[in-house]
Amino acid sequence: MAATYSLVDLETWPRKEHWEHFSTAAKCFISTTKKMDVTALHAATHASGERFYVAVLYVVSSVINRHREFKLSWQTKERRLIVWDEVSPSHLVFHKDDETFTCVWSRWTADFAAFSRGCREDMAKGLRHRGYRVPGIPENVFSASCLPWLGYGAPHLTLNGDEPYLAPIVTWGKAERIGKRLQMPLSFEIRHGAADGFHIARFYEEVAQEMEALAAHLRA
């Protein structure tokens, strides 16, 4: 099924001048990292037999799909800005034998059980594939990756290119115990033309809420 979208009318868009400034004079990204308390979610996934990685991917996808600013895309050929009706995560599987990775994608659905099943299947296919990415990854995706080996401070990814890349880039690292709590670094990067600090702060707030909600769901 083809992804659906709507056009952004730049003349009536409240961010028109922000878009123009950050697409010409100041082509920049906002990159932030916040330590998230994942104590409840980690325990709930362990007890229920679910994968913590899949749970985090679900939570991040859920929040991103709520907000228009995280679903923008620039169509180079048509020279127009669009907003997808929904976006799915493009994420990575790691090949231990040759220390490379392959990009896969998992179709977004609000049904956690269905998302979890699909995600596991997608990852299994990715492990059987060699090369940068599996065939058929659609346009309406955002980027997600995990560094399970590193409890980092603040990574920074610099993107170059004349055409604006607008999809969010989400990264999380190794969860580490701080006292009685388990904390995990979660990074979020997006082009400034699409979003501001307010939108990113709301992202983190809602991720925290969704983690608690999913943990409660898995415990029920």
Cβ-Cβ contacts under 8 Å for 126 (sequence gap 6 or more) = 92, 93, 102, 103, 104, 134
Report yes or no: 103 and 142 within 8 Å, Cβ to Cβ: no
Residues 80-124 have pLDDT tens digits of 999 999 999 999 999 999 999 999 999 999 999 999 999 999 999
Annotation says 91 is catalytic: no
Which of 18, 67, 192, 199 does the annotation list as catalytic? 192
What local confidence, expressed as pLDDT, does residue 23 receive?
84
Reported as a pLDDT band with limits 50, 70 and 90, residue 2 is confident
Residue 156 has pLDDT above 90, yes or no: no
Partner residues linked to 89 by β-bridges: 142
What local confidence, expressed as pLDDT, does residue 27 receive?
84
The pTM for the full model equals 0.95
